[in-house]
Structure 1
Amino acid sequence: MEQQQSSYLTFPTDLKKQSNNVNDWFCGAIEDWGPASKSRFGFTPCFEYRSSDMIFSFYILTITALSIKARTLYLLSDNPQDLSFELGATLFITSVLCIGFIVEAWPRSSTKVQQSSSVPIYDKANLFSQATYFFYFPIIRLGNIKTLTAEDLDNQLPECVYTANAQPRLDRYWKTEQYNARIKGREPSLFRAILRSHLIHVPALFTVRVTRVLAGFAVPAFLSLLLAYFQDIQDLSPSQETAVHRFGTGNSSDRSMRDTSLEYGLFLVFAMFLAGLCNVILVAVSRQYCMTKGLEVRSALVSMVYRKSLKLSPGSRQLSTTGQILNHVSVDADIWSDGGLVLTLWISVPLEIFSALYLLHKTLGWSAWVGLLTMMSMSPLQIWRAKIFNKLQRQLSELSDERIRVMTEILSAIKIVKLYAWERPFLKRILDVRNRELEVMRRSGALDAAMSVVYTSPTLIISLVTLSVYATWGGPGFTPGVLTPQVVFVSMTLFSMLRNPISTLTEATSSTVRLVVSTSRIQRLLLREEIDSGAIVRELRRPKDSSGESAIVVQDATFSWFKESVLVKASGAENQDDADETQALLQEPQDSGVSHMQQPTLQHINLSVQSGSLVAIVGRVGQGKSSLLSALIGDMYIFHGYAKTVGRIAYVPQQSWILNATLRDNILFGLEYDQERYRRIIAASGLELDLAILPAGDQTEIGERGINLSGGQKQRVALARAAYNDADIYLLDDPLSAVDAH
Structure 2
Amino acid sequence: MATGGEALALEATGKPRPGIGIHQPHPLDAPWSIFNFAPRLQLSWYWPLLRLGASRPLSDEDVWPAPRGLSSKEIGRRVEECWRAELLNASKLGQEPRLARVFWSLTRFHTVTYIALSSLCGVFFILAPIILRAFLEELAQGAEVPALVPLGVGFSLCWAGISFSVSLSKYQAQLSGMICRLGTQRLIYCACLCLPADASSTESPTNLMSVDAERLFVAFNTVMPHSFVLVLAFPVLLITQLGLVPAAVCMASAVGTSYFSKWVGGRISRKRRLVMAESDRRLQLSEQFLEGIRVLKMNGWTGVAQKRLQEVRAAELYHQRRVLLWKGINLMMGLASPCVVGFCMFSSYALLGGAMTPEVIFPALTILRALQIMMGILPLGFSALADSATSHKRIYRFLLAHPLRPQAGESRRGESCPDGSAAGQVLLRDVTLVRGNGDPGLAQNSQHQPGGTGNGSVPSSPLGRAFRSLQSPRSSPASPASPSSPSKPSSRSGRAPFQLGPLNLSLRPGDLCVVCGPVGSGKSTLLLGLLGEVPCTPASGELSIVAGEIALCAQEPWIVSASLRENVRCLRKEDPAAYAAAVKAAQLMPDFASLPAADSTEIGSRGINISGGQKARVALARSVFSAPSADIVFLDDVLSAVDAHVARRIVEDALLGSLCKRTRILVANTFLPLILPHADCVVVLKQGGRVDVVAPPAQALATSAWLRGAVDTMGGCNLDEAPQQQHHQQQQQEEQQEQQAAAGAVGPQQQQAGAGAVGVGVGQQNNNNDNNNINNNNNSTAGGTAAGAVGEATPEAGAVAEQGSGPAVTGQREEVQKEAPPEKAADGSLLVAEERSVGILSLAAYA
Instruction: Confirm or deny: 8 A CA contact 1:564 1:598 kept in the other structure.
Output: no
Higher helix share: 1
Shift in alpha-carbon separation, 1:599–1:663, aligned structure 2, 3 A: same
Q: Deviations over 1:124-180 (max 9, x none)?
A: 69455455554444444554565544454451x443321232234334443454455
Q: 1:37 is matched with which residue? A: none
Partner of 1:356: 234
Per mean C-alpha deviation after superposition, the further-off stretch among 696-705 and 597-606 is 696-705
1:159 and 2:43 correspond: no
Distance apart, 1:723 and its partner CA: 0.8
- Deviation of 1:295 after TM superposition, in Å, equals 0.4
Inter-partner Cα distance in structure 1 for 2:516 and 2:87: 45
The one-letter code of the counterpart of 2:74 is: N
**1:410 aligned to which of 269, 289, 293:** 289
Give deviations 1:197-256, integer Å, cap 9, x for gaps: 433444433332232233345544454455446545xxxxxxxxxxxxxxxxxxxxxxx5
Q: Supply the AA of the counterpart residue of 1:679.
A: A
Query: Does 2:471 align with 1:562?
Result: no
Query: Residue 319 of structure 2 is aligned with which of 412, 436, 440?
Result: 440
| 1:253-285 alpha-carbon deviations (Å, 9 max, x no partner) | xxx5xx332x55666655544433332232221
Q: Does the 8 A contact of 1:166 with 1:297 survive in 2?
A: no
Counterpart amino acid of residue 193 in structure 1: V
Correspondent of 1:188 among 97, 122, 127: 97
Moved more, 625-634 or 292-301: 625-634
Q: Is the 8 A contact 1:550 1:608 kept in 2?
A: no
Q: Is the 8 A contact 1:173 1:193 kept in 2?
A: yes
What residue is the counterpart of 1:329 in the other structure?
209
Among residues 707, 710, 729, which one is paired with 2:632 in the alignment?
Answer: 729
- When residues 113 and 505 of structure 1 are mapped into structure 2, their CA distance, relative to the original with a 3 A threshold, is closer
Aligned residue for 2:200, secondary structure, equals helix
Aligned with residue 303 of structure 1, among 186, 190, 212: 186
- Write out aligned runs for 1:271-282 (5 A): 271-282=154-165
Matched, 1:521 2:394: yes
- Note if contact 2:550-2:634 (Cα within 8 Å) is conserved in structure 1: yes
Residue 120 of structure 1 is matched in structure 2 by 26
Q: Deviations over 1:593-643 (max 9, x none)?
A: 998952535445565656545454455544444343333333334445776
Cα deviation per residue 1:465-487 (whole Å; 9 max; x = unaligned)? 211221222xxxxxx21101332
Aligned counterparts, 1:56-67, within 5 A: none
For residue 206 of structure 1, the aligned residue among 105, 115, 118 is 115
CA contact (8 A) 2:411 2:423 kept: no
Match of 1:634 in 2: 532
Residue aligning to 2:176: 293
Q: Return the letter of the residue paired with 1:598.
A: A
Structure 1 position 687, deviation (Å): 4.1
State the Cα distance separating 1:411 from its structure 2 match: 2.1
User: Which residue among 367, 385, 389 is the counterpart of 1:512?
Assistant: 385
Check the 8 A contact 1:332/1:522 in 2, yes or no.
yes
Mapped partners of 1:211, 1:415: distance in 2: 63
Q: 1:501 to 1:622 in 2, by over 3 A?
A: same
Number of equivalenced pairs: 568
SS across alignment from 1:377 = helix
Q: Distance in 2 between matches of 1:135 and 1:534?
A: 40
Q: CA deviation at 1:454?
A: 3.2
Residue 243 (structure 2) aligns with:
365
AA aligned to 1:652 is C
Q: In structure 1, what residue type is equivalent to 2:531?
A: I
Give the Cα–Cα distance (whole angstroms) in 2 for the partners of residues 210 and 538 of structure 1.
47
The letter for the 1-side match of 2:392 is: T
Aligned residue in 2 for 1:393: 272
CA–CA separation in structure 2 for the residues paired with 1:135 and 1:674 = 42
- Which of 325, 329, 335 aligns to 1:456? It is 335
Percent of paired sites with the same residue:
27
TM-score, structure 1 as length reference: 0.66
Q: Report if the CA contact (8 A) 1:190-1:520 is conserved.
A: no
AA in 1 matched with 2:195:
L
Name the aligned partner's letter for residue 167 of structure 2: A
Q: Report the 3-state secondary structure (helix = DSSP H, G, I; strand = E; otherwise coil) of the residue aligned with 1:719.
A: helix
Decide whether the 8 Å contact of 2:265 with 2:383 is kept in 1.
yes
- Per-residue deviation, residues 625-676 of structure 1 (Å, max 9, x unmatched): 4343333333334445776545443221221013456655543445444332
Residue 218 of structure 2, aligned match among 338, 343, 352 = 338
Q: Tell me, what secondary structure is at the counterpart of 1:333? A: helix
- Give per-residue Cα distances to partners, 1:75-124, cap 9 Å, x unaligned: xxxxxxxxxxxxxxxxxxxxxxxxxxxxxxxxxx9775888985324556
> SS state of the match for residue 403, structure 1?
helix
CA drift at 1:424: 1.8
For 2:235, give the aligned amino acid.
L
- What are the residue-to-residue correspondences of 1:645-656 with 2, within 5 Å? 645=546, 647-656=548-557
Asked if 2 retains the 8 angstrom alpha-carbon contact of 1:313 and 1:531, the reply is no
Cα distance change, pair 172–685 in 1 and its aligned pair in 2 (3 A): closer
Retained in 1: the 8 A contact 2:337–2:375? Answer: no
Partner Cα separation in structure 2 for residue 706 and residue 139 of structure 1: 46
Give me the TM-score of the superposition, normalised by structure 2: 0.59
Provide the residue aligned with 1:73 in structure 2. none
**Counterpart residue identity of residue 219, structure 2:** G
1:260 aligns with 2:144: yes
**Structure 1: gaps spanning 5 or more residues:** 1-108, 233-255, 474-479, 572-592
Q: Secondary structure at the match of 2:243?
A: helix
Matching of residues 40-189 of structure 1 within 5 Å: 118-123=24-29, 126-130=36-40, 132-143=42-53, 148-155=58-65, 157-179=66-88, 181-182=90-91, 185-189=94-98
